[in-house]
C-alpha cells in the first residue's frame, strides 16, 4: 500500500534535486556537478495489462561527463518480487532513453536497507544471467543531525535525514533541531518542510511530536494534516494559540540546544505569552544570549 511517508521519501528528490549531491557523497559516488535534472514519467509499462511503475525517475545531465537515468524507489520492507521488478526498470530505462541507469533505494530501517543492497542475481542456480546492484540510503549511512546550525545549512538534507531516522532513538532530537533551523528559513521553505515532515515521517509517534512542534502549510492537500484539520474545523482562535505555543517551544529548544539553563520563571513567562511579536523577538535573541534571563533585556 502506498502511504504518505512512502511518497515523501522519493518525492523530495523531485522537489529538491540538490539532495542528490550529499546522497551520492555518502554512497562514494562522484556527485553530478552543475547538472540539469529532469523529472520524467514513472510509468514503465510496455505490455498491458501488466503495469509497472517506478516511484520516481530522473534524467540527469551533468555539465561535464556522461548523463544517466536515476530510478528511485522507497522501500518499507523486504519484497522478493522487487528483484525482477528492479532489473526490469533498469533495463527499460537504459533501452528507452539510451543512457546508463542507476537504482537508488530509500529505506527507513536497517534490516530493509541491508536486504535492498543486494546484489540480486537472476537466472538458474548454476548461472547468473543478470545481476542488480542497487544504491541504498538508510539509517546506516545517513547522518544524524541534531545541531540546529548544521540543519540550517542544508534544510533539504536535514529533512531527509529526519525522515530516514524517524524510527530511531534520536528522532526527537533530530526533529527539534530541524524545527529550530526552520525558524530562520524563508516562508516558502518553512511551509514546505513543515508539511513534508508531517506526511513523510514513517513513525506515528514522531509524526505526532512534529505536529506539536510545528504549524504546517498546504503543499500536500488532502492528506489530513494539522493545518487542514484546523481549517476545516474553523479553529481560527486555536490556530493563533498554537502559533504562540510553537514559538515558545522553539525558544526553549534553541536555549536547550545551546546548553543554557532555563529557570522555571523564564519557562512560565515564555509558555504563558500570547504576543507573537514578543515571542519572535525572544526567539531571535535565543541564538545570542548567554543566559535565559537575557531574553527579556532592554525593557522587554
Q: Give Cβ neighbours of residue 232 (< 8 Å, ≥ 6 apart).
A: none
What is the end-to-end Cα distance of the chain in Å, rounded?
A: 53
User: How far apart (Å, rounded) are the C-alpha atoms in residues 180 and 153?
Assistant: 12
Q: What is the CATH number of domain 4-137?
A: 3.40.1350
**pLDDT (0 to 100) of residue 234:** 47
**pLDDT (0 to 100) of residue 205:** 87
User: How far apart (Å, rounded) are the C-alpha atoms in residues 293 and 100?
Assistant: 59
**Among 16-20, 57-61, 87-91, 295-299, where is mean pLDDT lowest?**
295-299
> Which CA distances in Å does 140 have to 26, 111, 137?
10, 10, 8
**132 pLDDT band (50/70/90 cuts)?**
very high
Give residue 224's region: left, alpha or beta (phi > 0; psi -120 to 50).
left
**16 pLDDT band (50/70/90 cuts)?**
confident
- pLDDT digits 0-9 by tens, 22-45: 888 888 888 777 778 777 765 555
- pLDDT digits 0-9 by tens, 46-73: 544 445 678 889 999 988 888 999 999 9
What would the mean pLDDT of 264-292 be, rounded to a whole number? 85
β-pair partners for 102: 70
pLDDT at residue 245 greater than cutoff 50: yes
Specify the pTM.
0.66
Nearest alpha carbon to residue 195 among 142, 159, 247, 248: 159
pLDDT at residue 237 greater than cutoff 80: no
User: How far apart (Å, rounded) are the C-alpha atoms in residues 270 and 268?
Assistant: 5
User: How far apart (Å, rounded) are the C-alpha atoms in residues 138 and 127?
Assistant: 31
Which letter does DSSP use for residue 143 in this model?
A: P
The stretches of 98-215 forming alpha helices (DSSP H) are: 110-116, 148-153, 155-164, 171-182, 187-200, 204-213
**pLDDT (0 to 100) of residue 1:** 47
Q: Give Cβ neighbours of residue 71 (< 8 Å, ≥ 6 apart).
A: 54, 55, 56, 57, 86, 89, 90, 93, 101, 102, 103, 104
Nearest alpha carbon to residue 193 among 173, 215, 172: 215
β-pair partners for 121: 131
**101-107 and 56-61: which strand pairing?**
unpaired
What is the number of other CB atoms lying within 10 angstroms of the CB of residue 223? 15
Please answer whether residues 58 and 19 qualify as being in contact, where contact means their C-beta atoms are separated by less than 8 angstroms: no
Burial per residue of 267-284, b for 16 or more beta-carbon CB atoms within 10 angstroms, e otherwise: eebbeebeeeebbebbbe
What is the number of other CB atoms lying within 10 angstroms of the CB of residue 169? 8
- pLDDT digits 0-9 by tens, 103-127: 999 998 999 999 999 999 998 888 8
- pLDDT digits 0-9 by tens, 192-227: 888 888 888 877 888 888 888 875 433 344 444 454
What is the residue extent of each domain of the chain?
4-137, 171-296
Helix (H/G/I), strand (E/B), else coil: 222: coil
What is the number of other CB atoms lying within 10 angstroms of the CB of residue 32? 23
Nearest alpha carbon to residue 157 among 128, 184, 189, 135: 189
Please answer whether residues 123 and 130 qualify as being in contact, where contact means their C-beta atoms are separated by less than 8 angstroms: yes
pLDDT at residue 299 greater than cutoff 60: no
Amino acid at each position: 500500500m502506498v502511504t504518505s511517508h512512502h511518497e515523501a521519501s522519493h518525492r523530495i528528490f523531485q522537489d529538491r534535486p540538490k539532495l542528490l549531491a550529499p546522497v551520492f557523497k555518502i554512497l562514494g559516488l562522484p556527485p553530478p556537478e552543475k547538472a540539469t535534472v529532469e523529472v520524467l514519467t514513472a510509468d514503465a509499462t510496455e505490455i498491458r495489462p501488466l503495469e509497472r511503475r517506478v516511484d520516481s525517475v530522473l534524467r540527469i545531465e551533468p555539465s561535464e561527463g556522461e548523463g544517466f537515468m536515476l530510478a528511485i524507489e522507497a522501500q518499507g520492507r523486504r519484497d522478493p518480487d522487487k528483484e525482477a521488478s528492479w532489473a526490469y526498470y533498469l533495463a527499460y530505462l537504459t533501452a528507452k532513453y539510451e543512457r546508463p541507469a542507476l537504482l537508488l533505494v530509500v529505506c527507513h530501517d536497517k534490516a530493509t536497507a541491508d536486504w535492498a543492497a543486494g546484489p540480486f542475481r537472476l537466472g538458474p542456480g548454476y548461472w547468473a544471467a543478470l545481476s542488480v546492484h542497487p544504491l541504498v540510503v538508510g539509517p546506516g549511512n545517513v547522518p544524524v543531525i541534531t545541531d540546529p546550525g548544521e540543519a540550517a545549512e542544508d534544510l533539504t538534507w536535514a529533512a531527509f535525514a529526519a525522515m530516514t531516522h524517524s524510527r530511531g532513538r534520536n528522532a526527537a532530537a533530530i526533529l527539534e533541531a530541524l524545527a529550530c533551523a526552520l525558524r530562520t528559513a524563508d516562508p516558502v521553505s518553512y511551509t514546505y518542510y513543515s508539511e513534508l515532515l508531517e506526511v513523510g515521517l514513517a513513525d506515528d509517534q514522531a509524526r505526532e511530536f512534529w505536529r506539536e512542534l510545528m504549524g504546517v502549510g498546504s503543499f500536500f492537500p488532502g492528506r489530513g494534516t494539522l493545518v487542514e484539520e484546523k481549517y476545516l474545523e474553523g479553529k481560527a482562535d486555536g490556530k493563533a494559540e498554537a502559533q504562540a505555543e510553537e514559538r515558545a517551544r522553539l525558544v526553549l529548544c534553541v536555549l536547550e540546544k545551546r546548553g543554557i539553563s532555563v529557570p522555571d520563571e523564564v519557562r512560565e513567562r515564555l509558555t504563558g505569552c500570547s504576543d507573537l511579536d514578543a515571542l519572535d523577538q525572544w526567539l531571535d535573541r535565543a541564538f545570542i544570549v548567554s543566559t535565559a534571563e537575557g531574553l527579556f533585556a532592554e525593557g522587554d
